[in-house]
Every structure is written in structure tokens, then in C-alpha cells.
Amino acid sequence: MRQRHEWFGPDALASLYRTYLVGSLVVTMGIPIVVTLLVEDAPWFVPAGLTALTIGLLAFFWWWAGAYARSVGFRLTDDEIESRGGVWWHSQSTVPYSRITNAETKQGPITRRFGVGSVAIQTAGQGAQSTAELTIQGVADYEDLREQILESVREGGDEYERTGEPTTGRPDEATLDALLEEVRAIRQQLE
């Protein structure tokens, strides 16, 4: 269980991104290097240049993955989830518990190898947006974190602490009756 009001970072995000990076570079740069080595008339500097470019890209993105993982942080508060991160462009966002409609966990084969997963948070009012409003990546306790977030959603955040009444979920009968009366009055006026 994560402590409220304390920033936490991903557990294996740098290693995960570096694995994706090496795999991508092997495919995108390894094939041209091998092809130019197999061509008999290719000058020596073509595969050497491609190899140097690959090593340079690998070094840069290796550094970037570590810097990005160190910059990423998340915090669960009484009312919302806060996130921050970025190497060059820093971003900060908050997602109120009262707006969260779904939280799902994801774990692919590579993330499973590292023993981590992610929690994707979706909110009301996203419009046609099909991606998550916030994704907490690379955490080892991703399933427990999802349950903690959903528990905060069910409790209604800090309002629950003050009043003892949930602020999310189904409205009470009096509210539904008042709404029904209002709809009937509008219908009466339209007829």
C-alpha cells in the first residue's frame, strides 16, 4: 500500500525503456548494417558509419531512459493523483478521484520479465480520447496500486473523510425522486 502524500517513482522504467531501445535498434539499424556488409562492392565506411550512428543513438537514448525514469513521479493525495515528469519538457498533471471511471492494469511479456506493470487511469469527460488520462508505468505493486486507487474512488476522496458519506456512485432516492419530478414538469410543459 502506497503512503498518501509521498512521491514515488517507477521501479524498473529505465531498464524497461532500455530493453525496448536495444530491440528497436537491432531491428532498425542491424539489418542495414548486415546488408551493407554482405554487398561486395559497398565501401567500408558505409557499415562503419551505420555502426557509429547506431552506437551514438544507443548511448543517447540509454542516457535519456535513465534521466526520464528519474524525473517521473506519482503521488496519491486525499483528493487526487498527481504526476510529474520529463527530461526537457516537464509536465505535471492531476486526476481527481471523483473523475476516475476506470483503472486497468497492464503487463506485457517484457514488463512481466522485469516484474512490473502499469495502471492506466481513465476519467469521465475524456471525449473521444481512447487513451488513458494517466498511466503509472513500471511499478512492481501495480495490482495493489490499482485497488488502492479504486478504493479512493469508492470512498470519494477527502469528502468521505469529512462527512462519512460516499460522493461517488448511485444517487440517493430523494435525489432521484426530485430529478424525476423535474423531468415530468419539463415533459408537461413540452406537451
Q: How far apart, in whole angstroms, are the C-alpha atoms of residue 17 and residue 86?
A: 14
Q: Phi/psi of residue 104, each to 5°?
A: -125, 150
pLDDT class for 65, splitting at 50, 70, 90?
A: very high
| Poorest-pLDDT segment among 38-42, 128-132, 136-140, 175-179 | 128-132
The three cell numbers locating residue 57: 543513438
Average pLDDT over residues 99-107: 92
25 alpha carbon, distance to own chain's centre: 24
Tell me the pLDDT tens digit for each residue of 138-172.
999 999 999 999 999 988 755 555 555 555 556 67
Average pLDDT over residues 18-42: 82
| CA dist list (Å): 89 to 102, 107, 161 | 28, 27, 36
| Poorest-pLDDT segment among 78-82, 123-127, 141-145, 172-176 | 123-127
| Poorest-pLDDT segment among 12-21, 65-74, 165-174 | 165-174
Average pLDDT over residues 13-38: 84
For a pLDDT cut of 90, what percent of the chain falls above it?
50
| Poorest-pLDDT segment among 1-10, 31-40, 164-173 | 164-173
Largest CA distance in the chain: 87
